[in-house]
Chain A
Amino acid sequence: MEATSRRKWWTRVGDWFDERFDVRIPLEAFLKKPVPKHAIRWYFCLGGITFALFIIQGVTGILLSLYYKPTPNEAYESILFIMNNVRFGWLIRSIHSWSATLMIAFCVAHMLRVFVTASYKNPRELNWIAGVVLLLLTLAFGFTGYLLPWDQKALWGSTVGSEILGVVPLIGEALLKLLRGGLEITGLTLTRFYGIHMLVLPVLAFIFLGVHFVIIRRQGISGPL
């Protein structure tokens, strides 16, 4: 028997790429980090769970965008259509809604873990800041997504939420106008929030997630208490 035929197929696929691109050593250096003993605890998984929920949000969000219509006349109707007519539409939308809530909860839990284990200290200050930005992005995702069903709860939730911006001294009203696309919540606010929710925030989230992960790989996980 020839030597190559006895190797597993994935080994051969790996070898094929390594022959051409010489990627094994740099990739292994980046991906194969043993988890230190003190970190094998459930509460060190909170960040990873948040990321898993982010992926779920991405997949279900893309699926929802195939049926959702961001106009005042059709938004709520398209939600009803997803819930009542589309196969498994109720499931996809409910997963999106629930994992949005869970993502915020796990994000905060992850932050508390990092705080309690003092992992934010020198030399990890910048990763803490990247994490804070990610928490704010997650909250912005939640806030903009809340309006999209275009029902009473959405309308008043967004009215009250965006009202807070109006009390900023001097420029409050300008900020409010900028966020709402006018002084009131209208169809312009809906398309605005839709664009932010679907394009602006995902791009920013990917950038900051990339930064977050590259830094943790470069510096490694913080030491035991």
Chain B
Amino acid sequence: MSESVSQFGNGAEDQPLSRRGFLKYALLVFTGAATAVGVATPIVAYLWPPKQAGAAGGGRVNVASTSDLPPGQGEVFSVNNKPVLVIHTVDDDEYVALSATCTHLGCILFWNEERQVIACPCHEAYFNTNGAVISGPPPAPLEPYRVQVEGDQIFVEGGES
């Protein structure tokens, strides 16, 4: 018999399961399983490939109404998770939409109404309403977005995600 008593076990396996023993065991299994499921679920769900936001085609977004943007004004809107600057130009009375992410280091640009230019708060960069660099460190012009005006609503289209 002494052979059967292992160094790992306590040798008390013959006794019937007591109520206390059962509850202890059940609680342990339940807590263990709940913890395992609670940790594994988010990880497996995380690993499962998510829907690509751009898969539906980027989509057209209604950003504002024409009354929000009188001539000479511009504002940054979120279009498919990307900041887009929509400007109502004074010269041509047109709506222009440009990426509001500076091509230098990715700061969010803003519309300088006094000087009628697009400005970057980080390194004093300026762009004109065509998206071309006037001055400052940016290496490339701003990416344009398509704008459509239907009735009094402004729509912006483009951007991959």
Interface residues of A (CB under 8 A from B): 3-4, 6-8, 10-11, 14-15, 24, 59, 63, 66, 72-73, 76-77, 80-81, 84-89, 91-92, 150, 152, 155, 185
Report how far A7 CA is from B52 CA in the complex, Å: 53
How many Å from the CB of B141 to the closest CB on chain A? Answer: 15
Contact A85 B8 (CB under 8 A): no
Contact B9 A81 (CB under 8 A): no
Stretch at the interface among B43-51, B65-73, B148-156: B43-51
Identify 16 residue pairs between A and B in the complex whose beta-carbon atoms are under 8 Å apart, listed by A's number. Answer: A3-B3, A4-B4, A6-B14, A7-B13, A8-B13, A14-B8, A15-B6, A15-B8, A24-B7, A72-B105, A72-B106, A85-B52, A87-B42, A87-B46, A87-B48, A92-B42
Residues of B within 8 A of A (CB-CB), count = 25
Most chain B beta carbons < 10 A, residue from A7, A8, A11, A87: A87
Contact B8 A92 (CB under 8 A): no
Q: Main SS of the interface on chain B?
A: loop
Contact A11 B105 (CB under 8 A): no
Interface residues of B (CB under 8 A from A): 1, 3-4, 6-9, 13-14, 42-43, 45-48, 50-53, 81, 105-107, 122, 161
Report how far A10 CA is from B7 CA in the complex, Å: 11
Q: Main SS of the interface on chain A?
A: helix
**The one of A4, A73, A76, A87 that contacts B50, using a Cβ cutoff of 8 Å:** A87
On whether A8 and B8 interact (CB within 8 A), knowing A63-B43, A77-B161, the answer reads yes
Known contacts A85-B50, A185-B105; 6 additional CB pairs below 8 A are A10-B8, A63-B46, A73-B106, A77-B161, A89-B50, A155-B105
Report how far A171 CA is from B107 CA in the complex, Å: 31
Report how far A7 CA is from B53 CA in the complex, Å: 55
Contact B9 A80 (CB under 8 A): no
Report how far A91 CA is from B41 CA in the complex, Å: 12
- Complex contacts, B6 vs chain A, CB 8 Å: 7-8, 11, 14-15
Contact B4 A7 (CB under 8 A): yes
Most chain B beta carbons < 10 A, residue from A6, A10, A91: A6
- Complex contacts, B45 vs chain A, CB 8 Å: 87-88
Contact B42 A3 (CB under 8 A): no
**The one of A4, A24, A85, A91 that contacts B42, using a Cβ cutoff of 8 Å:** A91
